[in-house]
Structures are given as C-alpha cells and as structure tokens.
Amino acid sequence: MTQRYERVALIGLGLIASSMFWSMKRGGVVGHVAGHARSAETRETAVRIGLCDTVHATAAEAVAEADLIVLATPIGVMGDVARDIAPHLKPGATVIDVGSVKRTVIETVGPHIPEDVHFVPCHPMAGTEHSGPESGFASLFDNRWCLIVPQDGTDAAVIARLEAFWQALGANTEIMETDHHDLVCAVVSHVPHLIAYTMVGVADDLRRVSDQEVIKFSAAGFRDFTRIAASDPTMWRDVFLTNKDATIEVLGRFTEELLALQRAVRTGDGEQLHAYFTRTRAIRRGILEAGQDTNEPDFGRAKVNR
C-alpha cells in the first residue's frame, strides 16, 4: 500500500484544481487541502463554497508543510509561482503541475525546484468548456487518463505514490516522454481547439450570414465546435505560445489534408471523398469501445426547449 499525501496545496483554483479537491474528498484520498488563488474574488468564492480546507492569501503560506504541491495556474505564470514558493517547500515534498504542455513547464518550473524536492510534471487529460472555482466536480477524472512525464533520476517510489494518487481520483495513468507528450496533445487537444476557435470565428465574421442565423441553425453540426471554443482564453493562449512547434507541425498536416479534400470537392472526386469519410468512422468506433465517449445519438445531449 503506497503512502497517501497528508497535506496537499493547490495553487490556482480553476476547473482542474477544484475538481481535484472534490475528487480527493470523495475518495478520502488525502488529509488537509490548502488552497491559494491570486485573485481575491476567487479566494472569496472558494471560502464560500467550501473549496479547500484552508484558503491562503499567498502561495508561500499554502505550500508550507505540504507533501504534495499542485501547480494549477495557466502555464504562462507557472515559472513565477515556482520561484515564489521554492524557499517554502518542505524537504522531500513532491511538486506537480497539471499543465497541458510539458517541455516548457519543465524548462520554466524545473530550475526553481530545490534539490531535496521532487518535481514530476503531470497532465490530467480531462476538462470541460467551463472554467473558474465553481466549475469543478468530483467525477471529472473518472476513466480519463493522466499522463505523467517524469524527468531523469526521479525516484520510482515517488512516481508510484503519484500514480496511486491519480488512480484514487478515478484516473488511469500512463508514463510518457516529454516531447512525445507535447506532440500527442497537439493532435488530440491543441489543434482541435485551434480549429474549433477558427471555425467559430469564421462563422461569426461572414458578412453574408448573420450571427442570428449561425446560432439558430447551429444544430446541423456547427455547435459541436462551439463547446471547446468556449474554453478559457488565457489557458489556451498559453498552450499555443508554449507548444508552438508541435502545434505548427500538426497544423501543417491538417492544412495539407484539408486542401487535398478541397481539391476533391472542386474536381468532383466522389470516390476520394467517400473513401475518406468511411475511414474516419473507425476511429469513432475505437473511442466508443475504449469507453471515452457515449454512443447515444448527439452525445445523449438533453434536448433544450425554450
């Protein structure tokens, strides 16, 4: 039986941190949870809704005596946070981040972490389109994957303890190499988000089709894009600024492929289109078989009646 973390500090209280809190409490996974958010408004909300056992005005205060410290801020400020908390970390503690990009986080956070503290980058691949301290819920990580990206020389026992932690939150865990992580995420997450943002932006911008028309008739396919295009702008800005190379590589492949299909549309190559549209069904089937989506028509969306 691996040892649990007695005291956990959550730095940043958005969707991921608040979901971690409710999930830790659901499972009785940890002892005390100390929280910190930079914004006073977020801290007040946290106190009001009972998010964290104690809420602290500074990150330094929150991390004191913590066995596990979770960096859950936008990626762009993680380096600064690490610098601020470094002098206050307990020897033997483990610092993790939950950012969507790993190479940059390792480069900006890593150098600040003291020798006697473990730093293990993590990426729980779960989320919703909502953000902020009130958006979290206990089941967010259930049957989702948490990628763990340990650096050279990290103690195996530290990693095992962390895997047990994420599993207690409902997640599956997998160890992955840094750059491969960033490429995989560009494919399954970053580029899909950028494309969704683009499609929504184009629809909003077309002069000959009104926003009202786009909104009314969105159920014909468009609205599936709007969910992820409603995600937190600051988080996503930071993702693209920090996972530049992999994003641009996958975007390049995407554009190439889109132009090939556009050419098939222009030349009327029905065979190519039909073959392409048939091939993509297999991936959907795989996702359903892996329990990563529901097969209910329309995602089992509740019908909304005005």
Q: Which is nearer to a copy of itself, 65 or 249 (CB)?
A: 249
167 contributes a contact to a copy of itself by CB under 8 A: no
Comparing CB distances to a copy of itself, the nearer of 116 and 298 is 298
Of residues 112-141, which lie at the interface with a copy of itself (CB under 8 A)? 125-130, 135, 137, 139
- Stretches 47-55, 56-64, 108-116, 230-238: which one binds a copy of itself (CB under 8 A)? 230-238
Residue from 1, 40, 156, 283 that binds a copy of itself (CB under 8 A)?
A: 283
Distance of closest approach, residue 176 Cβ to a copy of itself, in angstroms: 9
Site residues for a copy of itself, 190-219, by CB under 8 A, read 190-206, 208-209, 211-219
Structure tokens at 86: 């470094």
Beta bridge partners of 10: 35, 70
Q: 4-43 mask for a copy of itself (x: CB under 8 A)?
A: ----------------------------------------
Tokens encoding 263:
């050419």
* Region at 291 (left for phi over 0; alpha for psi -120 to 50; beta for the rest): left
Single-letter code of the amino acid located at 282: A
Residues 243-282 that bind a copy of itself (CB under 8 A): 244, 247-248, 250-251, 253-255, 257-259, 261-262, 264-266, 268, 270, 273-274, 276-282
Q: Is 230 in the site for a copy of itself (CB under 8 A)?
A: yes
Nearest residue to 16 (alpha-carbon basis) of 99, 108, 103, 106 = 99
In the complex, least distance from residue 72 CB atom to a copy of itself, rounded to whole angstroms: 16
Per rule CB under 8 A, is residue 50 in the interface with a copy of itself?
A: no
Residue 147 engages a copy of itself in binding (rule: CB under 8 A): yes
Query: Is residue 92 part of the contact set for a copy of itself (CB under 8 A)?
Result: no
Which one, 28 or 216, has the nearer CB to a copy of itself? Answer: 216
Q: Which is nearer to a copy of itself, 91 or 267 (CB)?
A: 267
Q: Which of 142, 151, 157, 160 binds a copy of itself (CB under 8 A)?
A: 142
Residue 248 C-beta: closest distance to a copy of itself, Å: 6
How far is Cα 176 from Cα 27, in angstroms, rounded to an integer? 26
Nearest distance from C-beta of residue 86 to a copy of itself, angstroms: 26
